[in-house]
Amino acid sequence: MIGFTGNTLDRADGLRHDPEAFAAAAGDWRARLLKLDGLLPEVSDDGRLAWTTLADLPDDAQLILLGLDEGRPHFAAYLPGFRPSTAPAMRSPALMTMLASLAPGEAAIYAAARSLIDWHARHGFCANCGTATAVIRAGWARQCPNCAAEHFPRVDPVVIMIAEHDGRALLGRGKNWPAGRYSALAGFLEPGESIEEAVAREIHEEAGVHVNDVRYVASQPWPFPSSLMMACVATAADDAITLDTNELEDAIWVPRDTVRAVLAGEPGPFLAPPPYAIAHTLLMEWAKG
């Protein structure tokens, strides 16, 4: 299963639109509250997400309904005034270790909670008139009391891709990555651009390689802070690399057999992306041929 997918909770959209039903869910003695340290998940001794009761809800917290499990409400808490960590701390080694221990479905629940809390923290004012907004729809929207505009959690589309040429995959290395780490190239879609056009543009901008025949493989939510990664493979017209050093530290062509060996745990010329990242899934699918 692709990392951060497989959420087992019923998102209960109808309940989000029913204030009375939401209040009843918040008063349900069975309700569970996700334990977080800021945006970091707390985990139990067996590596599972840690939950508590609503009795531990801070007085000024606002509930976000994550969903229902056989009718049992599950919530996260947003604390007004909370500010997310700066970018370098968003994906610490400690967080990566915790994510590796979570079952895929639990990672998906955490991803939803993290993205929503981060969005509330960053979007407390109306983009239309600048007035402070209020949480509505069980934590899945905000509304302006001045102009009545409604604002919904944003998801940023990102293409992540491999260019292939003569049985080799183009992999890149970002600045400040762990030693030896190489991965698929990636970049945000721009307004007025298709997935296929974004794949071709990003590969050419970052590595100077022209591609065609773009094929979609799979997608993944990525909660850092809230992206949708769309994985693709494209065919390169040639293998000449012209590196944009503002984007990448290095880029290399890696034969399929070498990719297979590295994914199998054998030593090789690069360190593969972690299994919960869709870049890992993309490499695995490409390595199958």
As given in the structure block, the two tokens for residue 130 are 């600048």
Q: Are residues 164 and 226 in the same domain?
A: yes
Chain centre distance of CA 216: 18
The pLDDT, as a whole number, for residue 91 is: 67
Q: Would you call 1 helix, strand, or coil by DSSP?
A: coil
In the chain, the amino acid numbered 160 is I
If asked whether residues 118 and 160 sit together in one domain, one would say no
| Dihedral angle, C-alpha 195, 197, 199, 204, nearest 10 ° | -170
**pLDDT surpasses 50 at 88:** no
Predicted confidence (pLDDT) at residue 25 exceeds the cutoff of 90 = yes
The H-assigned helical ranges of 143-227 are 195-207
* Tokens encoding 108: 């998906």
Structure confidence at residue 85 (pLDDT): 65
8 Å CB contact between 118 and 39: yes
Kindly give the interhelix angle for 278-287 and 256-263, rounded to the nearest 10 degrees: 130
- 86 pLDDT band, cuts 50/70/90, is low
Is residue 143 situated within a structural domain?
A: no
How many percent of the chain have pLDDT more than 90? 89
- Closest Cα partner for 75 from 152, 139, 126, 134? 139
**Is the separation of the CB atoms in 235 and 163 below 8 Å?**
yes
Contact 254, 243 (CB under 8 A): no
Question: Against a cut of 0.85, is the pTM above it?
Answer: yes
Rounded distance between C-alpha atoms, residue 247 and residue 48, angstroms:
36
pLDDT tens digit sequence for 260-275: 999 999 999 999 999 9
Inside any domain, residue 280: yes
Q: What is the pLDDT of residue 146?
A: 98
Distance CA 145, CA 151 (A): 12
Helix, strand, or coil here: 237?
Answer: coil
Domain of 275: which CATH number?
3.90.79.10
* pLDDT for the residue 260: 97
Burial bucket for residue 103 (CB in 10 Å: 0-12, 13-18, 19+): middle
Q: Give the structural domain span for 112.
A: 13-122
Domain co-membership, 283 together with 177: yes
* Cis-peptide, bond into residue 225, ω within 30° of zero: yes
Q: What is the mean pLDDT of residues 17-31?
A: 97
**Whether the bond into 93 is cis, omega within 30 of 0:** no
For residues 112 and 163, state if they share a domain: no
Q: Are residues 179 and 222 in the same domain?
A: yes
Coil, strand, or helix at residue 43? strand
| Mean per-residue pLDDT over the chain, rounded | 94
What does the chain come to in residues? 289
Give Rg (Cα) of the chain.
21
Residue that finishes a domain, picked among 99, 122, 145 = 122
Q: Is the same domain home to 165 and 256?
A: yes
**pLDDT computed for residue 89 by the predictor:** 46
**Number of separate domains in the chain:** 2
Is 127 inside a domain boundary? no
pLDDT of residue 43: 92
Residue with tokens 């909660």: 223
Query: pLDDT (tens digit, 9 = 90+) per residue, 147-199?
Result: 999 999 999 999 999 999 999 999 999 998 999 999 999 999 999 999 999 99
Contact 83, 121 (CB under 8 A): yes
Name the residue with higher pLDDT: 85 or 210.
210
Residue 147 lies in a domain: no
